[in-house]
Amino acid sequence: MAEPQVPGVRDAGPSPFPYGRWEPLVDGLRDGYRSAEPYPHVVLEGFLDDEVARAAADEFPRPDATEWIQYVHVNERKLGKSDRSGIPPALGRLIDELSSPPFIALLERLTGIEGLLPDPGLEGGGLHQSERGGFLNVHADFTVHPHHRDWQRRLNLLLYLNPDWRDEWGGHLELWDRDMSRCVEKVAPVLNRCLVFNTDADAYHGHPLPLACPEGTTRKSLALYYFTAETGPLKVRSTEYRARPQDGLKAVAIFADKWALRAYDAAKRRLGIDDRVVSRILGLLGRRKRR
């Protein structure tokens, strides 16, 4: 049995990313990226060749087809898969390419952030999937890698893999301003649309409304995070969930859950806990309760 590839190590086959299309465009996108509101970002339509995007969407595992991390609590309801060895081949090759030096160089030109590092462990990233009723409350991401204490989180890349997604199903990623007073932009999760954005401490985003897609249809995305190695002390902060102005009393539950997750994050950093292990334990407990 062949060994699974490590993200960032490219195979000898043709690249799944169309460098010839984006290389001439990236410098022209740079100023718009850096001046975008509410924080630096860009939406890239037709990110991959159509056949590559379709193959990735077709290969995306169903919720019942493999083991998923269960992210289920007050502030989110989704499935995640960061186990690189269990990711299907076309999606795996895409992850490897988007973690490779040529693609990293493209991101550095676009964003102006030098020394970007991909995450071989796909911590919190990889494949994400939400079923009907799934949601992700508005938040700013964790600031430092849980297992590399000198790695500051700098960028997110979200590639949506949802053919025939309907607007009325929701699932639009909302980009909120820095004081959480208003949503500035919404990005629908349609097939082959990619969003790249800076993960500043107040780069608030999420899709807080429960999905209204039909049973059996899911919101699918590939999420990759990029870091820089820093020499000075870093402010470590776990995911910062925030209530929207219209959330009312729900804000109390959002706040309480955030602090519970901070305690878990601190334990994970100190003890080297893996989300997959915790997810398995919670899954076993849940099955026992249902008996």
Structural domains present in the chain: 19-290 (2.60.120.620)
Is the confidence at residue 289, as pLDDT, over 70? no
Q: How confident is the model at residue 7 (pLDDT cuts 50, 70, 90)?
A: low
Q: What is the mean pLDDT of residues 173-191?
A: 98
Contacting residues for 33 by C-beta, under 8 A, at least 6 apart: 40, 41, 42, 110, 111, 196
Confidence at residue 42, expressed as pLDDT on a 0 to 100 scale: 98
Confidence at residue 275, expressed as pLDDT on a 0 to 100 scale: 64
Angstrom distance (rounded) from CA 219 to CA 132: 8
Q: How confident is the model at residue 81 (pLDDT cuts 50, 70, 90)?
A: very high
Q: What is the CA radius of gyration of the chain?
A: 18
Window from 113-117, 235-239, 263-267 with minimum mean pLDDT: 263-267
pTM, two decimals, is: 0.89
Confidence at residue 264, expressed as pLDDT on a 0 to 100 scale: 78
Helix/strand/coil percentages in the chain, nearest 5: 30, 25, 45
Angstrom distance (rounded) from CA 225 to CA 153: 7
Q: What is the mean pLDDT of residues 52-56?
A: 97
Instruction: Identify which has the larger pLDDT, 284 or 276.
Output: 276
Average pLDDT, the chain: 90
